[in-house]
Amino acid sequence: MPIIQAEGLTKTYRVFQKKDGLWGAFQGLYRREYKEVKAVDDVSFTIEPGEMVAFLGPNGAGKTTTLKILSGLIYPTAGKAEVLGFTPWQRLDAYRRRFALVMGQKNQLWWDLPASDSFQLHREIYSIPEAQFNQTLTELTELLGVEKLTRQAVRELSLGERMKMELIAALLHQPQLLLLDEPTIGLDVVAQVAIQKCLRDYHSSRGVTMLLTSHYMRDIEALCSRVLVITHGKLVYDGPLQGITERFGNDKVVKLRFAETAPEDSELTIYGEVTRREGPSVDLKVSRHEVARMLGSVLDNYAVDDVSVVDPPLEQVIARVFEEGKAAHDAV
């Protein structure tokens, strides 16, 4: 049975259109104009227990709104969702004990108290048995290397350390589902990797289901085998990360190293677009179907030392997907 089952989720916001200037503000006092904005538009997907799934999309695509619906903070304008067998926005305690949401930095911890006090509070709020609590806490602090920091006031911790504490707080009650909104935003690479490692280790040892949003491809490459791509509220892709390239990347990159000086750009443009040139090495962007024919022709005409054909970088493909999504959205 799936952990998350979302069917036709739609969320429409009514946004107040503020006019410019003082006169505009004055007009806003007695007559307000609203614009309907579809943050999430007919999104359906299912997630099975133990999966680690990433939500990928540009800012304002509807990732966070979807997470908010799934965690019960808001209810959808249309559509159904069942999470762990519950309807999230009924906010039953039985549901709230079984999942965790990490959103932003200043959420679950008491700013002025050491994290350990907040953890104790969580123990009571979630009624976690003492032995289980101590075991989980030791495991998590070791995993994240923050054993020495739990007695320090949270406000004195660095951003990365705070995020680690947030993560510990979220995992203490051993949720079956973990929803993470930008867990590594604003963190340096070391802290990012530490958070990724913790999530990966925790996932492999506990089999917890995770759904996370991130801007960082690195997070997603490191963690998730499945990706949901969402742009302008619409789900445009659901599948493995590598599949994105096959689905949306119509081009291949052909890397050539010529035996002598590489030919001029003008000679090569008949084969494809030159994207990089470095001494005898040249990268050409070639349509997927043209690769074989193009290679034959190049090898016939030039002395070539080395050839390789690769997919374009994932970031580029995804950026293209986002842009196409925007174009399609603007055209409507």
Partner 1 sequence: MTQFNPAFGFEPVAPSRGLIGTVRKYLKILRASLVERMTYRLDFILGTLFRFLPILTTILLWRAIYVGASGTDKPASSLNGFSYNEMIAYLLLTNISRMFSSMPGLAGGIARDIREGTIKRYLIQPIDMIGYLLSYRIAHKLAYIVGAAIPYGILFWLCRDYFDYFPDATTFAAFLLSCVLAFLVGFFFETCVGMVGFWFGEVTSLLYIVMTLNFFISGHMLPLDLLPHPWVDILKALPFQYMAYFPAVVFQGKVQGWHLVVGLLAEFAWAIFFIVLARYLFARGLKRYSAFGG
Binding interface with partner 1 (CB under 8 A) = 1, 3, 13-14, 65, 68, 71-75, 84-86, 89, 91, 93-94, 96-97, 99-101, 103, 106-108, 110, 112-113, 117-118, 120-121, 123-129, 153
Minimum CB–partner distance for residue 134 and partner 1 (Å): 16
Residue 84 corresponds to which amino acid? Answer: L
Give the residue with the Cβ less far from partner 1, 126 or 248: 126
Cβ–Cβ < 8 Å for 8, 182: no
Minimum CB–partner distance for residue 45 and partner 1 (Å): 17
- Check residue 86 and report its DSSP letter: B
Residue showing tokens 């090495």: 281
Residue showing tokens 């081009």: 251
Give the residue with the Cβ less far from partner 1, 90 or 301: 90
Minimum CB–partner distance for residue 17 and partner 1 (Å): 15
Give the residue with the Cβ less far from partner 1, 114 or 249: 114
Minimum CB–partner distance for residue 72 and partner 1 (Å): 7
Minimum CB–partner distance for residue 51 and partner 1 (Å): 15
Residue showing tokens 């024919």: 293
Residue 29, number of CB atoms within 10 A of its CB = 7
Minimum CB–partner distance for residue 84 and partner 1 (Å): 5
Give the residue with the Cβ less far from partner 1, 82 or 311: 82
3-state helix, strand and coil shares in percent for the chain, rounded to the nearest 5: 40, 30, 30
Tokens of 202: 């925790």
Cβ–Cβ < 8 Å for 47, 224: no
Q: How far apart are CA 257 and CA 280, in angstroms?
A: 6
Give the residue with the Cβ less far from partner 1, 123 or 252: 123
Cβ–Cβ < 8 Å for 266, 279: no
* CB-based burial label for 23 (10 Å; 0-12, 13-18, 19+): exposed
Give the residue with the Cβ less far from partner 1, 14 or 288: 14
